[in-house]
Every structure is written in structure tokens, then in C-alpha cells.
Amino acid sequence: DTAVSQTPKYLVTQMGNDKSIKCEQNLGHDTMYWYKQDSKKFLKIMFSYNNKELIINETVPNRFSPKSPDKAHLNLHINSLELGDSAVYFCASSLYRDKNYGYTFGSGTRLTVV
Amino acid sequence: GQSLEQPSEVTAVEGAIVQINCTYQTSGFYGLSWYQQHDGGAPTFLSYNALDGLEETGRFSSFLSRSDSYGYLLLQELQMKDSASYFCAVRDQGQAGTALIFGKGTTLSVSS
């Protein structure tokens, strides 16, 4: 049983396209996150949802729109893709929003914009 | 804001001991975490220190000194499979919500 699953694992697309990445967790966690990891491996928080409610929205272009239909799912939609969006996107979840530990990450989606 | 500093690379040989340091600056402190990430893989949780002192989990230990805003991850009896990136992380503070903020990672290369 995969705890945090993301699809697709790889995504190659052209500039200007719109794409979505899906994330689901079966851990019963209340909080879910999207992180972006660049080519230098820097992990940067993008969004955080707690029980379907957006609680963190870092300085991310509004072309990125997260959607949480329920607390087990957090999807990421990206409009008008740009070359600079190429990165690995990780979904994660945690049981408690106010704890440091126990983040469980999905396997990542490698997005390549050409 | 928050910032974390850790060395970018560390090399060691099998069987050795290596220490990866992390210094942090935060507006509030809620503990220091460590994560491991193999190439092409996902970050995985290793350890968490909320209080000063050493926490041991098998070959890995993590230390925290809150007065020095400093912690380290100690890896003993190194194995080739320990070659990975290691990230220290603290919880963001000052936002409506919270999330982990990660250091830039330390790439550990273990050779035979």
C-alpha cells in the first residue's frame, strides 16, 4: 500500500500548456503539502492544506492552483507552463499541522517543460 | 524569516563516522528534523529533536543545542547505501499555517 501516491511520475510538456498533478494519501493525515525541488535539490514549500482548507500559500505564481476535494487528496494544476517550472514536485502529508516530524512524501513528479 | 545552513558536500569511506552540521535562524523554534533523500527518490524522515541532547536511532543519531541554534546528524558505520542527500528542517513560523522549511541539503558520498 502506497502511503502518498502521486501521478504522473514523469510529465513532459510544451511551454504554454496546462497540466495537473494528482496526489492521494491513505494515512489519515489532516495536512497535505506541495513542495518544489529544483535542479540544485532545494526543497521549497508551495502550498499547505489542512482538512481541505488552504493554510499556506507561499510566493508562487498564480498560474499554480492547488485543489483539495477532500482531506485525502491534494491536486496541483499549472496553467501556461514556463521553462522555469521544470522541477520535481513532491506532495507530502503529516498527521499534525503543528509538528516538525513525520512528513511522508510521495515519490515525486518530474516535470519537464520544453 | 527562517534560514538553515549545512555543508553542501561530505565524503567518507565505508565503516567511517560522519557528522553533518546544521545551523539555523528562526523567529520561533519548534524542533529540528532530518530527512534523507536518495537520488531519484523521495525525502524520508530520519529524526527529530525538540529538546537539547542526543537522540539515537540505530546507526544514526541527531543532536540539538538550542542555545547555539545548532544541530547535527551523526552517521556511524557508514555503508554505501548511506550515499544520499541529507536535509535539516525547521518549522516555519509567522504564517497562518506551518510547514517545514528545509536546508539546501548535504550530499554524502560513501566510497569503498
pLDDT, tens digit (0-9, with 9 covering 90-100), for B46-69: 999 989 999 998 999 999 999 999
A42:B102 CB<8 A? yes
C-beta atoms surrounding A39 within 10 Å: 8
pLDDT of residue B97: 55
Residues A22-38 have a mean pLDDT of 94
112 residues of chain B, pLDDT tens digit each:
678 999 999 999 999 999 999 999 987 788 899 999 999 999 999 999 989 999 998 999 999 999 999 999 999 999 999 999 999 999 865 554 578 889 999 999 999 9
- Judged by a CB distance cut-off of 8 A, whether residue B32 touches chain A is yes
Q: Residue B35 and residue B104: Cα distance in Å, rounded?
A: 12
Provide the pairing of β-strand B60-65 with B53-57.
antiparallel
- Judged by a CB distance cut-off of 8 A, whether residue B91 touches chain A is yes
Kindly report, residue by residue over A65-109, the tens digit of the pLDDT. Answer: 999 999 899 999 999 999 999 999 999 998 876 565 689 999 999
CA A44, A48, A49 angle in degrees (round to 5)? Answer: 165
CA neighbor of A7 nearest in space, from A20, A21, A17, A18: A21
State yes or no: pLDDT of A55 exceeds 90.
no
Which of B73, B92, B98 is the mutation pick for testing A, counting most A CBs within 10 A? B98
pLDDT of residue A41: 92
Q: Residue A56 and residue A112: Cα distance in Å, rounded?
A: 25
Residues A18-28 have a mean pLDDT of 96
pLDDT of residue B96: 43
Q: Which helix (H) or strand (E) holds A34?
A: strand A31-37
C-beta atoms surrounding B98 within 10 Å: 24
A108:B42 CB<8 A? yes
B91:A33 CB<8 A? no
- Judged by a CB distance cut-off of 8 A, whether residue A90 touches chain B is yes
CA neighbor of A27 nearest in space, from A90, A73, A88: A73
Identify the bridge partners of residue B71 per DSSP, sorted by sequence position. B22, B64
**Which residues have a Cβ under 8 Å from the Cβ of A90 and sit 6 or more positions away?**
A6, A34, A35, A36, A37, A43, A105, A106, A108, A109, B42, B43
pLDDT of residue A59: 79
pLDDT of residue A19: 98
B42:A45 CB<8 A? no
Identify the bridge partners of residue A6 per DSSP, sorted by sequence position. A23
